[in-house]
Structure 1
Amino acid sequence: MSDTPAEMIRFHDVVKRFDDDVVLDGLDFAVSAGEFVTLIGPSGCGKTTILRLLMTLEQVSDGRIYVGGECLSHMTQRGRELPADEKHQRRLRKRIGMVFQQFNLFPNMRVRQNITEAPIRSLGLSRDEADRRADELLEMVGLADKADARPSQLSGGQQQRVAIARALAMRPDVLLLDEVTSALDPELVAGVLALLKDIAATTDITFLCVTHEMNFAKNVSDRVMMLDGGTVIEDGRPEKIFSAPEHERTREFLHAVLERS
């Protein structure tokens, strides 16, 4: 019996076009269950598009995407494979959470309600159960005393912590992180990254992360994938990617990013 973790995410020969612009070009990669994988690369290389495809905010132009062994992008109906409909994708999307660059909290709701709304509506949790889950998560992210606050009463770092708690409230198998510190003041970044590192270390959630925080990528990731031109040009352990990258484009990118930091 194999001890190799099952694949949680699989992109198979995925192409994504916007009109004549090919953003992803025959993309192939897999992420194992419980793995933390970080995507790096220059702007426009397709990193955020990968996350948007997994969230079904965009649809593939060609190829297949699988989540937990099930095809997200296509479904079989009467023996024929067809592009997945909204019902099929919504069912699989429940396994995926996402934390965006912008916090996207509902300004008219208090913090606890921001966290409980989706589990009640999508998972059918009772109000009491959703409240208990929200309070546990607020304790985890260090905001137990802010349950009744409005988002406008919180700092940017606190709002991002609420957004993380909201994603975790859905008990996702996969958590997507899209530049989650880019909207934060520099002094707030370390706290949010430390929280994510702790969550990664203490749960079996599978992470797929887009970030320009190279130290975070180096310290937390199991693997780092370098993208350029819509495809993965280098994939390996962070110590290998950051200390001895094989591809010249990776060396150029890391030199430019680390020079700015």
Structure 2
Amino acid sequence: MPDTATKPAIQFQGVGKRFGDNVVLDGLDFSVAAGDRVTLIGPSGSGKTTILRLLMTLEEANDGLILVDGVPYTHEMRGGKRVAIPEKRRSLVRRRVGMVFQQFNLFPNMSVLENIIEAPIHVLGVPKAEAIAKAEDLLEKVGLADKRDARCTQLSGGQQQRVAIARALAMEPEILLLDEVTSALDPELVADVLAVLRNIAETTDITMLIVTHEMQFAREVSNRVLMFDGGKIIEEAHPEEIFTSPKHERTQEFLRAVL
């Protein structure tokens, strides 16, 4: 097991990502320490969500290396060349990473409980009774204990997103990725979802990498904020500093527009 006390939970080393001629990430270098809660802000198209998709292996970088707990994730350097890592090794590292998406991605043909226990049983090999007990505990934490046997289609958007958060936590990830988790919700449903995430941030040591346009949430939950523009980090600081006295002109423009 890697020494997570000295190695970052997430590390990008010269990572580049292109879609045709469109450069989305340009030689990106950054790291997230274990237990940190880091929020990525910036205009649409600046590369924020692409970072999360690379960490979920939904996209693949064109250049550079990504390390999770010091372990190369999708590629490694061998004999001076960047080579792909076999899928079996990737999947072992991927288990450390969970993600909550904008669109909840729940299985509509399953109950709430079934959605949460499916992956722990079939991916991690957790005994069914243990998976159910864990799922019930998580549903209590996200305020949905009474929805255990409901179909996901019977739930509001905010309730579905809270189920999605419980489902991600059921895999006991070391790293939790949050991609605009409130953007598909009606405004009155946002507060409940953010309250659940605040509680996770306050009561666990899960490393969180967050993409959001909810600036107050970013300010309250993060211990570091990175401002992205044009596939690069142009400013990073503690939330209080970046939200009260941003130094970069582009950050100032962006925050004036969204606050």
TM-score relative to the length of structure 2: 0.95
Residue 235 (structure 2) aligns with: 234
Letter in 2 for 1:163: A
Return 5+ residue gaps in structure 2 as ranges: none
Asked if 2 retains the 8 angstrom alpha-carbon contact of 1:47 and 1:227, the reply is yes
Residue 57 (structure 1) aligns with: 58
Q: CA separation in 2, counterparts of 1:90 and 1:235?
A: 31
Letter in 2 for 1:151: C
Residue 92 (structure 1) aligns with: 93
Residue 143 (structure 2) aligns with: 142
Asked if 2 retains the 8 angstrom alpha-carbon contact of 1:37 and 1:207, the reply is yes
Residue 253 (structure 2) aligns with: 252
5 Å matches for 1:1-261? Answer: 6-75=7-76, 82-258=83-259
Letter in 2 for 1:103: F
Deviations 1:148-192 (A, max 9, x none): 000011111110000000000000000000000011110010111
Worse-matched range after superposition: 201-210 or 68-77 = 68-77
C-alpha spacing 1:79/1:52, structure 2 compared with 1 (3 Å): same
Q: CA separation in 1, counterparts of 2:78 and 2:212?
A: 38
Return 5+ residue gaps in structure 1 as ranges: none
Deviation at 1:89, TM superposition (A): 1.5
Q: CA separation in 2, counterparts of 1:16 and 1:84?
A: 18
Letter in 2 for 1:90: S
Q: CA separation in 1, counterparts of 2:91 and 2:237?
A: 32
Letter in 2 for 1:254: L
Deviation at 1:87, TM superposition (A): 1.7
Deviation at 1:21, TM superposition (A): 1.0
Q: CA separation in 2, counterparts of 1:4 and 1:86?
A: 27
TM-score relative to the length of structure 1: 0.95
Q: CA separation in 2, counterparts of 1:5 and 1:218?
A: 26
Partner-residue secondary structure (3-state), 1:119: helix
Asked if 2 retains the 8 angstrom alpha-carbon contact of 1:10 and 1:31, the reply is yes
Partner-residue secondary structure (3-state), 1:59: coil
Asked if 2 retains the 8 angstrom alpha-carbon contact of 1:176 and 1:209, the reply is yes
Deviation at 1:80, TM superposition (A): 7.0
Worse-matched range after superposition: 78-87 or 135-144 = 78-87
Q: Identical aligned pairs, as a percentage?
A: 65
Q: CA separation in 1, counterparts of 2:38 and 2:123?
A: 27
C-alpha spacing 1:29/1:181, structure 2 compared with 1 (3 Å): same
Worse-matched range after superposition: 153-162 or 85-94 = 85-94
Deviation at 1:5, TM superposition (A): 5.9
C-alpha spacing 1:76/1:11, structure 2 compared with 1 (3 Å): closer
Q: CA separation in 1, counterparts of 2:122 and 2:86?
A: 20
Q: CA separation in 2, counterparts of 1:134 and 1:23?
A: 37
Q: CA separation in 1, counterparts of 2:47 and 2:76?
A: 25
Q: CA separation in 2, counterparts of 1:85 and 1:175?
A: 23
Asked if 2 retains the 8 angstrom alpha-carbon contact of 1:75 and 1:88, the reply is no
Deviation at 1:86, TM superposition (A): 2.1
C-alpha spacing 1:123/1:52, structure 2 compared with 1 (3 Å): same
Number of aligned residue pairs = 256
Q: CA separation in 2, counterparts of 1:126 and 1:80?
A: 42
Deviations 1:65-109 (A, max 9, x none): 000110112147799752123222211110000000001110000
